């Protein structure tokens, strides 16, 4: 990921990173090898319990339970890097769009974010003859 961002000229400051949907914290722990501070966020208290036990970086890593449809727990411009992998595609599109707006809000000027969004329909289109798994010619932009 660091090489990909460097190739884009989007190398973030290595101050503070957010891992949204951190689960058991595999990626959070990886980020902590590069960033001064990392915050893992998840909706499941049970996942965060496992994550806290797996923490190898002490107080430089924090875990936050967030059951809200936003990231109001964090102030504006509080992270240099935001990461979310295999998370947004598991929620309703309106929630995913809202979180993308939140990622931009909590990202510091000059910061970078790395995220995935689905490009395939969740369910086959009804009566259109479209094949499930067909990738659209262009992904529509989401107003952020």
CA pair distance 33, 28, nearest whole angstrom: 9
pLDDT over 50 at 52, yes or no: yes
What is the predicted pLDDT for the residue at 62?
97
pLDDT of residue 138: 38
C-alpha dihedral, 6 to 136 to 139 to 126, nearest 10°: -140
Structure confidence by residue, pLDDT tens digits, 86-105: 888 888 889 888 999 999 99
In this model, does residue 129 exceed pLDDT 50?
no
Domain 18-115 has CATH 2.40.50.100: no
Q: What average pLDDT does the structure give for the chain?
A: 83
Q: pLDDT-based confidence at 4, cuts 50/70/90?
A: confident
At which residue do the structure tokens 């979310």 appear? Answer: 84
Give the separation between CA 103 and CA 8, rounded to whole angstroms.
19
pLDDT of 67 above 80: yes
Q: CA-CA-CA-CA torsion for 22, 24, 29, 31, nearest 10 degrees?
A: -20
Q: Give residue 120's pLDDT.
A: 65
How sure is the predictor about 140, in pLDDT bands with cuts at 50, 70 and 90? very low
Q: Which H/E stretch holds residue 37?
A: strand 37-42
106 within 8 A of 82, measured Cβ to Cβ: yes
């Amino acid at each position: 990921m660091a090489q990909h961002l460097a190739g884009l000229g989007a190398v973030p400051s290595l101050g503070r990173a957010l891992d949204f949907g951190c689960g058991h914290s595999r990626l959070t722990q990886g980020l902590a090898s590069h960033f001064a501070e990392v915050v893992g966020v998840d909706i499941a208290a049970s996942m965060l319990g496992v994550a806290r036990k797996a923490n190898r970086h002490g107080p430089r890593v924090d875990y936050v339970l967030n059951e809200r449809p936003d990231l109001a727990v964090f102030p504006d411009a509080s992270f240099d890097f935001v990461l979310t992998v295999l998370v947004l595609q598991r929620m309703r599109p309106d929630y995913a769009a809202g979180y993308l707006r939140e990622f931009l809000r909590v990202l510091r000027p000059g910061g970078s974010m790395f995220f995935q969004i689905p490009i395939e329909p969740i369910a086959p289109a009804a009566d259109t003859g479209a094949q499930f798994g067909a990738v659209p010619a262009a992904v529509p932009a989401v107003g952020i």
